[in-house]
Chains A and B, each alone.
Chain A
Amino acid sequence: MTVSYALLGLLEQADRHGYDLKQSYDKRFGATRPLRFGQVYRTLAQLQRDGLVEIVGVEAGAGPDRKRYAITAEGATDLERWLSEPEEPQPLLQTVLFTKVVLALQSGRPAHEFLDAQRERHLTVMRELTTARRQASLQDSLLIDYQLFHIEADLRWIDHAAGRLEALAEEIRV
C-alpha cells in the first residue's frame, strides 16, 4: 500500500521509467529495504490497471523496451486523499508516517498539517482506549496498555518530526 503511494508521489514530481523510479524510491524510502525490480513493475502494472498511472512513451533500447510512466488525474486525486487522511494508530506505522512526511515536504504540501491531523487522531484513539481500559479485566487492560505504549511512541516521533520539518525540507530539496 505504502509502496504504491510512494511511487505515485514520485511520479507526481515527474514522469519516469521504472528503473528511475526504483532508484528514487531507494534513495528516499529504501534505506532499510530497497525495492526489488519485480515489485516496482508489479506495482506499476497494478496502478496502471487501476487507472492511477499511464504509459506516456516507450523507448526501444538494447534490452527490453523502456516504458515511461506518468501519474493520471485520478492518481493525483487518490494520492492527495491518502496524504490528507490520518492513519489508524497501529504497530509498525512508522514507514507510512515517514513516507507521508517526506512526500508532503517534497511536493510543497503543508507537512505540519498532516502531522497535526495525525496527532489528533492518535490522541483520540488514546482517549478511547483509556476509557475502555477502565472497564476492562486486568488481562484486557494489559493488552490495551500495549497499544497505548505503541501509540505513545508514534506520538513522540510525530512531535520530534514536527520540530525538524524545516531542516528535513531543506535536506530533501538538495
Chain B
Amino acid sequence: MSAQPLLTGTGLWKSFGPTPALRGVDVSVNAGEVLAVMGPSGSGKSTLLHCLAGILTPDAGEVAFDGRRIDHLGDRERSLLRRTVFGFVFQFGQLVPELPVLENIALPLLLAGRRRRAATAAADEWLPRLGLDGVGHRLPGDLSGGQCQRVAIARALIGRPQLVFADEPTGSLDSVASDQVMELLVDVAKAERAGVLFVTHEARVAAYADRRVIIRDGTAVQPATVSP
C-alpha cells in the first residue's frame, strides 16, 4: 500500500439550492483498499461519492487522485478519467437493456476503441469469475437482480480501473444475493488490485470493508477508524 492515499477529498462542500449536502468532509482511500461510506438516507453519502468520482463538482474543497487535483478538470478530462481509471457499480446495475450480457460487460472496452470481437472475447473471460457461465447472450431483463449486479461488477472492472465506486450496490437485493455480490465485488477487486469505495446504509454490507467512514448531516463523524 502506498504511503500517499490514492484518492483524497479535502474540505468538501456541496449544496443543492439553499441546503448543504456536504459540509466540509475529509476522506481518503488508499490503493487497493475497500472503504465503506455509511450513513442514513439523505446524509450526503451519495453526493460525496459523486464529488469524489468527478460526476459532481464540489462548491468548495479539493479532490485529488494519485496526487493530482481532479475537481477543476474540464468535462472531457474528467470523462476520460472516469472511463480509464475509475469503475462504477450502481444500485440497479444500470445495464443497457438492449445489449446482451457480454456486450454490457465489454462496453468500457468498446468505448475505449477496442474492436468488438476482442472486447467481447475479453468479456467472456469474466463470466466464470462472477458465476455468470452460460448467461453471456441473455439480455439484462432475463437476469435476476443479483446476476445484474454481478454483470455490473464485471463491467466496472474489465477496464482494469484503479478504483471502483459503488453506490448502494446491494440496495435492491435480498440478503443472500447481497452477500454474494459483496463477496465477489471485494474478492475480484482485490485480485485486480483495485480499490473500492462503496456507499451503503446497511451495516451488514459495510462489514465487508477494510475501513469505514460515517456521514451524518453532511459531515464525517467517524473518519478513518481502522478495523482489525
Contacts and interface: CB of A to CB of B under 8 A. Distances in A.
Interface of A: 116, 119-120, 122-124, 126-130, 134, 145, 148-149, 151-152, 155, 159, 163
Given A130-B204, A148-B207, 6 more contacts: A116-B222, A120-B222, A126-B207, A128-B228, A129-B207, A152-B203
Contact of A127 (B175, B207, B222): B207
Interface residues of B, number: 17
Contact of B203 (A116, A123, A145): A123
Contact of A126 (B40, B183, B204, B228): B204
A137 to B, nearest CB: 15
Interface of B: 40, 175, 183, 202-204, 206-209, 212, 214, 221-222, 225, 227-228
B227 A124 contact: yes
A117 to B, nearest CB: 10
A123 B212 contact: yes
28 contacts: A116-B222, A119-B214, A119-B222, A120-B222, A120-B225, A122-B203, A123-B203, A123-B206, A123-B207, A123-B212, A124-B228, A126-B203, A126-B204, A126-B206, A127-B209, A127-B227, A127-B228, A128-B227, A128-B228, A130-B207, A130-B208, A134-B183, A145-B175, A148-B204, A148-B207, A149-B204, A151-B203, A152-B202
Nearest to B221: A116
A129 B203 CA distance: 12
A152 B204 contact: yes
A163 B204 CA distance: 20
